[in-house]
A and B are shown apart, each in its own frame.
Chain A
Amino acid sequence: MSKTNQKVKQPIISIKEMNKYYGDFHALTNIDLEVNIGERIVICGPSGSGKSTLIRCLNRLEAHQSGSVNVNGVELHQHMKDIDKVRSEVGMVFQHFNLFPHMTVLENCTAGPMWVNKVPPVEAHEIAMRYLERVNIPEQADKYPAQLSGGQQQRVAIARSLCMNPKVMLFDEPTSALDPEMVAEVLDTMTDLAQSGMTMIVVTHEMGFAKQVADRVIFMDEGKIVEANEPIAFFENPQSQRTKKFLSQVLVH
């Protein structure tokens, strides 16, 4: 296994003692997590355990109430000035794609570079086509999202994020809304991205992907990080009872 070899230990995301509440509901409890540049992290856990909430706190789609979240050297808090800059450097792929339905695939991809990074149209077009080729759908550039299959839409969403040249990519169950035969094409794209050295945090139940790609697997339950380990150790020798139970449920099929 060479994938953990020459990693510079330099955190790009660092979470300390972070707590998140929805009203009275304690959604995340004392989260501590450091993610190094180039690291690939898979987060798993039962439904409602706070996986989505955790990664949504990383680009402040959700606010945390105490502790600190530091992304790329910038502390995230309510009155920060440059959240848009942080967000533009953190790509996010959603379960339901969230493509812009009134814009073509190409326009979806050029929007970010042109409107946020002020890249001239010609150059934005080049960037967009480069990443659409990378996710293997350059021929769909002029179609509208609704004309594509789920797998294709999710790959467009990945390309759209990549066009911003992000430092980290966040994935929130990117394959959960897809028909089974389309899961593979999206996972392949993500594996490819991992091999290129992208820092990735992926919420998924695809344990095969976790084994193959992850540097670390994190198991969450009831808003807490229960266990975090390298994939081999995680799958072959889970420490906590809850992890064992969860793995027995997801690995049966």
Chain B
Amino acid sequence: MIQDTVTEDLLLRQPKFIAYLFATVLVCFLIFDPSQSIIGHLLEPALGEPDKSGLYGRFVTSFMLAVLMVLNLLAISLIPNFRLQVISVWIELLILFLSFFYSFDLSFEFIRSKIWFMVTQGIFTTLYVSAISIVIASFIAIIGAVAKMSSNGFAYAIASFYTSFFRGLPLLMQVYLIYLGFPQIGYVIDAVPAGIIALSLCYGAYMTEIFRAGIMSIDAGQWEGSRALGFKFSLIMRKIILPQSIPLIIPPTGNQFIAMLKDSSLVSVIGVWELMFLARTLGNKTFNHMEMLITAAMLYWMMTMVLELIQSRIERKYQKRQSR
């Protein structure tokens, strides 16, 4: 998207808009009744006990919150620098979320005692299962994409059957089918390999379409230019077509990797000691479920943020190359 060079007046500079905004926010708060929340407790000296303050308390607390919120929006809109603006909104949202979690009355003692194990065992397993799976999935995707574009009916049939089947079944079911199905035909398979196979096959099916789109977007002239020089198919693919489609393939593949990182939690059902499995089991004995779930959630999120960062780096590198 290209920004226009002329920006419209900020809505937050128009008194009418601010009035509407305030009214809307106020109504929302009134509906949800914040009189029992922290703010109600803070205002206890003025309003009396929160659960006895009634309609009056409900209105006063809502009004205070609405004022705070609109003032906050105005303050942020006054920050002249785009980066600073983004950072301050991020920090506010983070604080809101954290205080939401904090209100669960979590035992940080417990989290501290388990977090090291969750990182070394859980994150490690999650990462290596996902990484191996995405590499295998990419190989499957190249072969699948070529097969789907080939004029060979046999290859096309197998590839389209494969993508249809593995995109059509819930991943959870595939995990069970592979883990429990293989022993039926006399081939006992460990949990980790079964998980990797399920993730690779499922994501290979999705990525087949990504690779196919990437390969098809390369101009026909590249094929003709290479053929006219006497290049064979595999050479054209490896040296001419794939290198040019990679910049197109990377963003959606990064997306798939991020999705896989979290979908790998599904292999916890067959007992792979990845992050989700640990989150469900570690808190069991002492009923600290919430602690472990929230910790795992934060860890997933942090991994995703790191991946997003890496992805944007790689994209920028390819963009630079293209505009060379």
Hey, which bits of chain A sit against chain B, CB under 8 A? Answer: 59, 61, 84-92, 94, 96, 98-102, 111-112, 115-116, 144, 146-147, 160-161, 164
By a CB distance below 8 angstroms, the chain A residues around B224 are 61, 92, 94, 98
Q: How far is the CA of A116 from the CA of B229 in the complex (A)?
A: 8
- A112→B229 contact, CB < 8 A: yes
Known A98-B221, A101-B244; contact A115-B228, beta-carbon cutoff 8 A: no
By a CB distance below 8 angstroms, the chain A residues around B244 are 100-102
Q: How far is the CA of A98 from the CA of B221 in the complex (A)?
A: 5
- A116→B324 contact, CB < 8 A: no
- B225→A98 contact, CB < 8 A: yes
B323 nearest in chain A by CB position:
A146
User: Chain B's nearest CB lies how many Å from the CB of A248?
Assistant: 33
- A147→B230 contact, CB < 8 A: no
Tell which of B134-142, B168-176, B201-209, B235-243 binds the partner.
B235-243
Residue of B222, B226, B228, B324 contacting most chain A CB atoms (<10 Å): B228
B246 nearest in chain A by CB position:
A102
12 contacts between A and B (CB under 8 A): A84-B231, A87-B230, A90-B228, A94-B228, A98-B225, A100-B222, A101-B244, A111-B229, A111-B239, A112-B229, A116-B230, A146-B324
Residue B52 interfacial (CB < 8 Å):
no
Residue B320 interfacial (CB < 8 Å):
no
- A115→B239 contact, CB < 8 A: yes
User: In the complex, how many residues of chain B place their beta carbon closer than 8 angstroms to a beta carbon of chain A?
Assistant: 18
- B243→A102 contact, CB < 8 A: yes
Q: How far is the CA of A92 from the CA of B224 in the complex (A)?
A: 9
Hey, which bits of chain B sit against chain A, CB under 8 A? Answer: 221-222, 224-232, 235, 239-240, 243-244, 321, 324
- B230→A94 contact, CB < 8 A: no
- B235→A115 contact, CB < 8 A: yes
By a CB distance below 8 angstroms, the chain A residues around B221 are 94, 96, 98
Q: How far is the CA of A195 from the CA of B162 in the complex (A)?
A: 57
By a CB distance below 8 angstroms, the chain B residues around A99 are 225
- B229→A87 contact, CB < 8 A: yes
By a CB distance below 8 angstroms, the chain B residues around A147 are 324
A85 nearest in chain B by CB position:
B230
Q: Which of A100, A102, A164 lies in contact with B230, CB distance below 8 A? A: A164
Q: Which of A61, A101, A111 lies in contact with B228, CB distance below 8 A? A: A61
Q: How far is the CA of A102 from the CA of B245 in the complex (A)?
A: 10
User: Chain B's nearest CB lies how many Å from the CB of A253?
Assistant: 28
B324 nearest in chain A by CB position:
A144
By a CB distance below 8 angstroms, the chain B residues around A59 are 227-228
Q: Which of A61, A85, A98, A144 lies in contact with B222, CB distance below 8 A? A: A98
By a CB distance below 8 angstroms, the chain A residues around B228 are 59, 61, 87, 90-92, 94, 98, 161
- B232→A84 contact, CB < 8 A: yes
Q: How far is the CA of A28 from the CA of B240 in the complex (A)?
A: 31
- A84→B239 contact, CB < 8 A: no
Kindly list 13 other residue pairs between chains A and B, CB separation below 8 angstroms, not including A84-B230, A100-B226: A59-B227, A61-B224, A87-B228, A94-B228, A98-B221, A98-B225, A98-B228, A100-B240, A102-B321, A144-B324, A146-B324, A160-B229, A164-B230
